[in-house]
Amino acid sequence: MDSTLTKLMRDFPILDQKVNDERLVYLDNAATAQRPNQVIKALTHFYQTDNANVHRGVHTLAERATADYEDARRKVQKFINAPEPEEVIFTKGCTDGLNLVASTYGEANIKKGDEIVISIMEHHSNLIPWQQLAIRKGATLKYIHLTDDGELDLDEAKTLITDKTKIVAVAHASNVLGTVNPIKQLAQIAHQHGAIFVGDGAQAVPHMPVDVQDLDVDFYAFSGHKMMGPTGIGILYGKRELLEAMPPYQYGGEMIGFVHQQESTWAELPYKFEAGTQNIAGAVGLGAAVDYLNAIGMSAVQAHEQQLVNYLLPKLEAIDGVQVYGPQDPAKHTGVIAFNLENLHPHDVATALDMEGVAVRAGHHCAQPLMEYLGLTATARASLYLYNTQADADRLLVAIQETKEFFNHGSRETK
């Protein structure tokens, strides 16, 4: 990876700019990743040469567009090792996929007295759909908490998941703590009690190899824009037998078999869940992103990010006044690193870092129950990706030190 890093960075034109007269260091990848030229060109090519609606036409452009769209589905299928392309559903994003499961499988299968188990570290996208489902159905929502080291408490999970549990839904990797959760084990526990397991893969699929068959998840959702694809496109993987038994999520064109005046039948998988004109160009762009990641290799992506975490995390923790959240062992940490600087609001920290050209995120990161659990209102968050370098990590460290010194000096002058 190191030998190709310089060449790889040239694929990302947005990174070749200055922000506040400083070279841009983009460390907000957990929110959205940047797009390489190859993805941008794939989108442009589609709109310039192949743009048409899919599945509904016999003319040349329609056939080309349909081929592009279905080719992207097959690329994603192989990327996550789904058994068949019909189990890969295009959605608007991870949030849309999780809502689809809650609104279809959940609505049909959850009843009063049932239990749903999630973790306290969930993004709102994998929390509110289950919370609202539980409210509607009179079910109980339970939370798996954390160990002192910021990892999911697997022992507690084993006690919370019982024969009353119908759904277990947990993020593969936390968007705040950088914790990688043992979802394969959680899926096994869920299945032992007759429950299904839903995985939120938004922070995992872009950063590590994912094999849905090995994990034995029942559903698994993720977003294209976090893996260098376009916004507005995502994936829901589901096991065929579950998808076939579920009612449609939305109604309209494309998802029908035949429509009579008083009744209708539904299309086969995956089209039953793809009502209306889909984000065709987005799917094409996502396919190009998969090609790009495959050319590098997901094991290489993961190894590169781990090398950066091994370098950055101990140095960040060594800065006086910095509090880092999540596992302290770099080997248990993804490239998502949440931190606070003593006596400074995270928004002030992020603004100061931006003045140095370093882009990080600040806020509750759509994980307010986790913030409440940790006794926080917000954190700053730096998140790494394959185009980040050790020089980027050094820039972050220097910018944090300079921010600390600036505010400390200012506070002394006002006394």
Pick from 408, 337, 347, 411: which is nearest to 377 by CA? 347
- List active site positions: 366
| Residue 273 · residue 254 · CB < 8 Å | no
How much is the CA Rg of the chain, to the nearest whole Å? 22
Q: Give the C-alpha separation, 124 to 368, whole Å.
A: 8
> Which is it for strands 196-200 and 358-359: parallel, antiparallel or unpaired?
unpaired
Residues 6+ apart with CB under 8 A from 52: 59, 61, 62, 64, 65
Pick from 132, 118, 107, 103: which is nearest to 168 by CA? 118
Residue that has been written with the tokens 């990706």 in this structure? 385
Question: Strand order in 165-171's β-sheet?
Answer: 88-91, 234-238, 219-223, 196-200, 165-171, 115-119, 140-144
In the numeric block, which tokens belong to residue 64?
């080309």
Pick from 119, 20, 33, 122: which is nearest to 305 by CA? 33
| Residue 360 · residue 392 · CB < 8 Å | no
Pick from 412, 407, 415, 409: which is nearest to 349 by CA? 407
